[in-house]
Structure 1
Amino acid sequence: MLMSQKRLEKRFGQSPIFTASTFMTQGGIPPSTNPASLLKEAIHVISCGYEDKTEWGKEIGWIYGSVTEDILTGFKMHARGWISIYCMPPRPCFKGSAPINLSDRLNQVLRWALGSVEILFSRHCPIWYNYGGRLKLLERVAYINTIVYPITSLPLIAYCVLPAICLLTNKFIISNYAGMFFILMFASIFATGILELRWSGVGIEDWWRNEQFWVIGGTSAHLFAVFQGLLKVLAGIDTNFTVTSKANDEDGDFAELYVFKWTSLLIPPTTVLVINLVGMVAGISYAINSGYQSWGPLFGKLFFSIWVILHLYPFLKGLMGKQNRTPTIVIVWSILLASIFSLLWVKIDPFISDTQKAVAMGQCGVNC
């Protein structure tokens, strides 16, 4: 009993009345409890130092250590066998608020993604935590998907830049057979999206907006979250928690809807836009100089580049704003990065062999 009491104190804190209440079937307190002592004990329990040297915030209650503590706490509850249900009544039960301008929205998405990366590199990672416990397989898969999604920003950046590379180098990196395979994959993903629309009852317009913001957030906030998470894990560099300003329906005219706030999150998607626009201009110019036979391959390259620009169009529209107040530094940095990347890629040109480069430079003589 003494060892059990010590374990309970280490777990729930040094409050006998509070510890006894945890064993009550419906909660509450023993009937013989004195109201005066109960008040004194309640003041002790809610004090700031009560949870020191206990498991509060680590294994009990609201779990600390992540900016997305709701995901971490829910995961711990499911791991202990708690069951959750999805409730969506006809009449909304709560009225909330959310960021309404581009900069605040991206900062909020960055905080969510950073929290997922923190959980990914912590001991509570769903990939390896609580095997043999009460967490179901599909629940584990769902939580793994919740924490690894920021990493998809790395291949997403590559997919958004590759069409511009093809236009700048006048090469198509996908062969005919690979192109057919890619089209089949594209069609299957599109069909899956249609099935999800019919299952969820979401309209096409809402689905398309979600796809657009996935690309916008993936090329900005998710990308920054991956690097900030790695810096925190490897170098111990912590990030500041910033509360984003929000608005609700009672704010009336949404005065901050077109307010532009400078953030470095705007640079990567702007760079991707500039690279694709430069690639389109370069590809069309090359086709005009090369004759009609080069227009056929050009349309295939332009399709993918236009597809990227269509996904980033809301970002471009939000970036320009209602009163065209885009900071000059965003445009300057984006054009500078896009120009450096384009010039380096054209200079390196990895799709041309060393012999072809030597021929172009006139260095192989009669042995060519």
Structure 2
Amino acid sequence: MASQYKGHLMLTNIKWSPVEFKTYPGHLSNRAHELPPVDLFVTTADPVLEPPIITVNTVLSLLALDYPANKLACYVSDDGGSPLTFYSLLESINFAKLWVPFCKKYNVKVRAPFQYFSDQEPLIFGGISSDFREEWKKLKNEYDKLQQKIEEATKHCHPYHLNYMFDDFSKIERGNHSSIVKILWENKDNFPEGLPHLVYVSREKRPKHAHHYKAGAMNVLTRVSGVMTNAPFMLNVDCDMYANNPQVVLHAMCLLLESNHKGEEYAFVQYPQFFYGCLPGDPFGNHMIVLQEYLMRGIAGIQGPLYGGTGCFHRRKVIYGESPVQPKNTRSNVNGKSIEMTLKSKFGYSAELVVSVANLLSGKNKKMLRPSDISSSVKAAIEVADCSYESNTDWGTNVGWVYGSATEDILTGLGIHKRGWRTAYLAPNPHAFLGCAPSGGPACLTQQKRWATGLLEILFSRNNPVIATITGDLQFRQCLMYLYINLWGARSIPELCYALLPAYCLLTDSSFMPTVSKKAFLVPASLFTIYNLYTLLEYLRCGLPVRAWWNYQRMARIISSTAWLFGVLSVVLKLLRLSETVFELTRKDQNNQDDDADIDPGRFTFDDSPIFVPGTALVLVHISALGWTLLRAVRNSGFTSRSGLGEIICSAWVVLSLLPFAKGLFRRGKYGIPYSTIFKSKILVGLFIYFCISVSRN
């Protein structure tokens, strides 16, 4: 608990000057001819962990945004090179031709079909025109057909491999294939009310070439879109993060097209991450509502929010490495031959990409107003998607998404802030994007482990925030914010020590807390009470129940003793050059009515991963310590040991926080802890008890 109090002091810096933006997109909707083009990026990597129907819904929600269609282009990065994902997107085009006009005709609020059609209200209430009712039924029927086709293809019942469009997938090998760039739909007539461009991208992968996970995929999308549409602004979303607010682009443009009170442009506009299908009480503590309400608004008042990896509108020139104040001679001579050589060394050998970069940086981008002819750029797009294209360039270092961390988003945002840019945090109503939160133990802890690993990698690299403050333009308070975030995983070490301390005292008949009869006991008791009341008040002010607060406190202890601890170990092994960190995908759950009867989505689940060993060992240690204390009290006819009530309360608090593990000891199936995990945990418990006995004897 002490580590929480220390961290709370750093939180004061973050929460000191909160900022909230209020935008009026209606002012821009009447100036459609002045709106700039925007490229939309969707990333997916595995059709098993990220079902294609989820990706399709995200894409459909983006195609139906309230923005001129001839100024939008949607690029889908499929890092798995899956013919199933490609087939699903291809089949969705015919449905999109019906869906997009329907959404705009009736001003549909939720434009992800799976969410829209899950609500039967349009047909229940009266006052609805017969035309709408008929169109609704037709669209619902078409979506059901689309869903069925994708499900059949998933079961390999559909012969999609016979189509000529799938020739590039015929001999594809996962992790070892050439670049694939296919235009699924092209808005050739440049109609503002039509469908935006839709492009499928699967970059080249070879076993001997590092692909840099999501950061590498984002850089490929940046280059491919650069030679095709080259929009000055880019949105990136994960495949499960659909657009919940159809005016999301207009909201972002309200900030990106204007400057702040100091005359500064915003590098990017970050939207908060909210989730659909939220379980009552947030049993896994991963909805981050309070964190975004207080923490993100506070960060927005310093130098701006960190980049969250999804739901973010970027200024392309910033991704290309520009600083807020660019030397005049660089822009005036950007089309000169000497500058051309500089751009080639920085951005790569593609003549088409160099020209697009030069046009963008000089403000002479000819494609900015009418990005309609993209079929002629496919060859260049395939070229810049090659795995060897980035060799001897600045991609991944000074240009694009930065490599070197499992949390490439935080690292990239840090680099942007280091150059002196300010960023903006925007939380409109309704929420801009809604995603799929991980559920169950394995998915939640896998995500948290990746975050802890990536954040610590940044801290122990040349890109850490302290160096960025000394050598760059990262503000001091922003540096403290990054340090607080980067040290999340490191908290697991002191928290583990504090968690073991009560059990150690009970087993060795010692104490670390003042006795209840002494006034000194009021100090830790007051700190404990005040801290928990303060955090509880934050939840209540956000309209959340007490149960949600408790679930977050419980999951914070579980995550710290498991996922964060393994994140620290991963970084230590990397620093010792004993292993490399691996980017682990989080499973995206798919609503399946057939499975609902067999699933209790709010219960904690386990698997045989070693990540559950520390938590299991910790709860066994405290159960043993409490049992030993009770046995000693019975034997001595009362509590006569030096361990007091304070140690017993602390030990019971740890068991209560790890209650899912305690219950898992007696359950079976996925809700129970595997025997192999219990066996490994018992070995650790035995070693700890042996250590305690050895100390007590001395």
TM-score interval, smaller chain? 0.7 to 0.9
Match of 1:87 in 2: 426
1:25 to 363, 377, 393: 363
The 1:188–1:98 alpha-carbon spacing in structure 2 relative to 1, beyond 3 Å, is closer
Residue 233 (str. 1) matches residue 580 (str. 2): no
In the alignment, structure 2 segments of 5+ residues that lack a partner are 1-335
Residue 291 (str. 1) matches residue 637 (str. 2): yes
- Give runs of aligned pairs for residues 1-368 of structure 1, distance below 5 A: 3-14=338-349, 15=351, 16-25=354-363, 27-29=365-367, 39=377, 41-131=380-470, 133-175=472-514, 179-197=521-539, 200-249=542-591, 253=595, 260-292=606-638, 294=640, 298-317=644-663, 323=669, 325-349=672-696
Which range is displaced more, 9-18 or 58-67? 9-18
Which range is displaced more, 174-183 or 310-319? 174-183
The 1:10–1:301 alpha-carbon spacing in structure 2 relative to 1, beyond 3 Å, is same
The 1:249–1:188 alpha-carbon spacing in structure 2 relative to 1, beyond 3 Å, is same
The 1:287–1:298 alpha-carbon spacing in structure 2 relative to 1, beyond 3 Å, is farther
Which range is displaced more, 212-221 or 162-171? 162-171
The 1:307–1:88 alpha-carbon spacing in structure 2 relative to 1, beyond 3 Å, is same
- 1:21-64 CA-to-partner distances (Å, cap 9, x unmatched) read 23243855599xxx799736555444443322111111111112
Q: Aligned AA for 2:360?
A: T
CA distance in 2, matches of 1:168, 1:36: 71
The 1:182–1:253 alpha-carbon spacing in structure 2 relative to 1, beyond 3 Å, is same
Match of 2:184 in 1: none
- 1:246-287 CA-to-partner distances (Å, cap 9, x unmatched) read 203356635675764210011111111011001101111112
CA distance in 1, matches of 2:385, 2:677: 48
The 1:30–1:317 alpha-carbon spacing in structure 2 relative to 1, beyond 3 Å, is closer
CA distance in 2, matches of 1:202, 1:142: 26
CA distance in 2, matches of 1:30, 1:208: 51
CA contact 2:622–2:651 (8 Å) conserved in 1 = yes
Q: Which of 1 and 2 has higher RCO (CA within 8 Å, sep 6+)?
A: 1
The 1:24–1:203 alpha-carbon spacing in structure 2 relative to 1, beyond 3 Å, is farther
CA contact 2:448–2:563 (8 Å) conserved in 1 = yes
CA contact 1:102–1:318 (8 Å) conserved in 2 = no
What secondary structure does 1:85 align onto?
Answer: strand
Q: Aligned AA for 1:265?
A: I
CA distance in 1, matches of 2:666, 2:362: 60
- 1:107-155 CA-to-partner distances (Å, cap 9, x unmatched) read 2211111111111111111122243533233322221111111111011
CA contact 1:166–1:173 (8 Å) conserved in 2 = yes
CA distance in 1, matches of 2:368, 2:338: 22
The 1:236–1:288 alpha-carbon spacing in structure 2 relative to 1, beyond 3 Å, is closer
Match of 1:364 in 2: none
CA contact 2:449–2:564 (8 Å) conserved in 1 = yes
The 1:285–1:293 alpha-carbon spacing in structure 2 relative to 1, beyond 3 Å, is closer
CA distance in 2, matches of 1:313, 1:138: 38
Task: State percent identity of aligned pairs.
Answer: 30
CA distance in 2, matches of 1:271, 1:169: 18
CA distance in 2, matches of 1:147, 1:60: 23
CA contact 1:215–1:312 (8 Å) conserved in 2 = yes
CA contact 1:104–1:245 (8 Å) conserved in 2 = yes
CA distance in 1, matches of 2:367, 2:381: 12
CA distance in 1, matches of 2:548, 2:368: 53
The 1:289–1:325 alpha-carbon spacing in structure 2 relative to 1, beyond 3 Å, is closer
The 1:66–1:252 alpha-carbon spacing in structure 2 relative to 1, beyond 3 Å, is farther
Larger relative strand fraction: 2
The number of aligned residues is 349
Q: Aligned AA for 1:240?
A: V
CA distance in 1, matches of 2:502, 2:361: 63
Q: Aligned AA for 2:649?
A: F
CA contact 2:616–2:681 (8 Å) conserved in 1 = yes
Alpha-carbon deviation of 1:189? Answer: 2.1
The 1:341–1:42 alpha-carbon spacing in structure 2 relative to 1, beyond 3 Å, is closer
CA distance in 2, matches of 1:218, 1:230: 16
The 1:38–1:318 alpha-carbon spacing in structure 2 relative to 1, beyond 3 Å, is same
What secondary structure does 1:241 align onto?
Answer: coil
CA distance in 2, matches of 1:146, 1:36: 41
Alpha-carbon deviation of 1:232? Answer: 0.3
TM-score by length of 1: 0.83
Which range is displaced more, 209-218 or 7-16? 7-16
CA contact 1:78–1:135 (8 Å) conserved in 2 = yes
- 1:302-332 CA-to-partner distances (Å, cap 9, x unmatched) read 2111111111113434565564643211112
In the alignment, structure 1 segments of 5+ residues that lack a partner are 358-368
Alpha-carbon deviation of 1:74? Answer: 1.7
TM-score by length of 2: 0.46
Computed over aligned residues only, the root mean square deviation of the Cα atoms, in angstroms, reads 3.1
